[in-house]
Chain A
Amino acid sequence: MATRSKKTQWVEKKLLLFVLLWMAGSAGCFVPAANAKDVFANDGLHDPQGPSFNELQRPDAAFAGFPVDTVGNKVRWVQALRDGMITPRTNIVPDTKIKILDMDLILGNTGDNAYVRFPHRAHTEWLDCANCHPDPFKEKFGTSGIKMGAILEGKFCGKCHGAVAFPLTECARCHSVKPDTFRGKFGVQPVEKH
């Protein structure tokens, strides 16, 4: 008859009570406010009184199915482009076009940090040469005077990274080459198969 001891029953009761109260306590917090799901409602920028407020597309709807990142727009834009998830136009002036350059640079002079691998390919898929050359980056390697402090102030790489491309908190995405294993030369790297 006594399959369960009094102690077990007591523990079970306690557990049940605990779980029930936990659920009750939590439930109140998960009742969403009327517009809690609308990312524009309390974003500090958009005016909900604006006549077209409800017509504006919301990013969470537009990003459905895009490769997910952890920072910025939470979208891996380079991958989205390569995977064909998006097919953004390349030009509006008829005779300009995208010139893909598949050339990596490795930049040293990074203090205690890992060296920087800069992929031209990912950048030229989006940008025009003239966006970076000759200002702020001179074509001749090692002559631009790039400094992390300046980047953090929005110069050099910081013109885009930290403003629209992945943010400057992602150190290792650029500082990706371990100095103790790198045996090559700084500057232009031999082309790798992608």
Chain B
Amino acid sequence: MKRNKKMGLARPGMKTVVFRLIVCVAIPALVALAIMGSSPARAEYADIVINNYSDGAGMRPAIFPHWFHRIRFRCKVCHADLGFKFQAGGNEINMLKIINGEFCGACHNGEIAWSVDNCDFCHSGKPGTPTQVHGSTVQKLLKPSQPAK
């Protein structure tokens, strides 16, 4: 009872108020921020950015979403049948080849998938984004031994 009187229900001291504020407002706020901050919107694992020529041509870099394509195609369709090397930016793709039905153009011809006149569906990246495999283990844990071309 003595302790009760000392702490006082009616008039908490300044220290008590500060302590309560910290415990009840600041800590939960930080916890909530940490929870939200740890799962921010993030680009999807294995998204490929191809910026061999885009910046130079005044286009947004192309983003190839692996996840979208592997729902619809097995790896071999592009990486065996169509000859895509396992190397971001390493396939010497250009729009002329695509329009001629090579690489992306094998499907993006208006028959299997929407045609190449939908420029902005692929060229959707932030200008200046370098060629990369987004979220790759190498990108996350190691410095690449060679700079991206």
Main secondary structure of the interface of A (DSSP, over half): loop
Q: In the complex, what distance in Å separates the CA atom of A160 from the CA atom of B42?
A: 20
Measured CB to CB, the closest approach of chain B to A11, in angstroms, equals 10
Chain B residue total in the interface (Cβ 8 A) = 65
Interface presence of A7 (CB below 8 A):
yes
Instruction: Find out whether the CB atom of B41 lies under 8 angstroms from the CB atom of A39.
Output: yes
Is the Cβ of B41 less than 8 Å from the Cβ of A89? no
B4, A18: Cβ atoms closer than 8 Å: no
Q: Taking A7-B4, A162-B136 as contacts, is the C-beta distance between A25 and B26 under 8 angstroms? A: yes
From A70-78, A105-113, A179-187, the one touching the partner chain is A70-78
B138 interfacial by beta-carbon distance below 8 Å: yes
Selected from A46, A55, A77, the residue in CB contact (under 8 A) with B125 is A46
In Å, the complex CA distance between A10 and B4 comes to: 8
Q: Which residue of A lies closest to B44 (CB)?
A: A59
- Asked whether A131 and B76 contact (CB < 8 A) given A43-B42, A56-B121, the answer is yes
B44, B106, B123, B142, most chain A CB atoms within 10 A: B44
Interface: A34 (CB within 8 A): no
Interface flag for A143 (CB, 8 Å): no
State in angstroms the CA–CA spacing of A33 and B24 once bound together: 23
CB nearest neighbor in B for A9: B9
Q: Chain B residues near A53 (CB, 8 Å)? A: 124
Cβ-closest chain B residue relative to A167: B137
With A91-B81, A92-B77 as given contacts, are A72 and B9 in contact (CB-CB < 8 Å)?
no
> Do residues A98 and B74 form an inter-chain contact, with CB atoms below 8 A?
yes
| Closest partner residue, chain B, to A41 (CB atom) | B41
Tell me, rounded to whole Å, the shortest Cβ–Cβ distance linking B137 to chain A.
3
A40 adjacent to B41 (CB under 8 Å): yes
Known A-B contacts A73-B67, A75-B67, A127-B79; A164 and B32 likewise in contact (beta carbons under 8 Å): no
How many angstroms between the C-alpha atoms of A17 and B9 in the bound complex? Answer: 12
- Nearest chain A residue, comparing its CB with the CB of B23: A18
5 extra interface residue pairs, beta carbon distance < 8 Å, beyond A13-B9, A47-B127, A53-B124:
A10-B4, A52-B120, A88-B77, A91-B81, A169-B137
Q: Is the CB of A127 within 8 A of B74?
A: yes
A11-31 residues at the B interface, CB under 8 angstroms = 13, 17-18, 21-22, 24-26, 28-30
Closest 3 CB pairs of A and B: A162-B137, A21-B24, A29-B32
B46 at the interface (CB under 8 A from A): yes
Contact partner, A126, options B44, B47, B71, B74, Cβ 8 Å: B74
B45 contact set on A, CB distance < 8 A: 71-73, 164, 167
When the two chains form their complex, are residues A29 and B77 in contact, meaning their CB atoms are under 8 A apart? no
Contact of A22 with B43 in the complex, beta carbons under 8 Å: no
A93 within 8 A of B: yes
- In the complex, 24 of the A-B residue pairs with CB atoms within 8 angstroms, ordered by the A residue number, are A10-B4, A17-B24, A29-B32, A39-B41, A39-B42, A43-B43, A44-B126, A46-B125, A53-B124, A59-B44, A71-B45, A88-B74, A89-B74, A92-B73, A92-B112, A125-B74, A131-B75, A131-B79, A131-B80, A152-B137, A152-B141, A164-B46, A164-B75, A169-B141
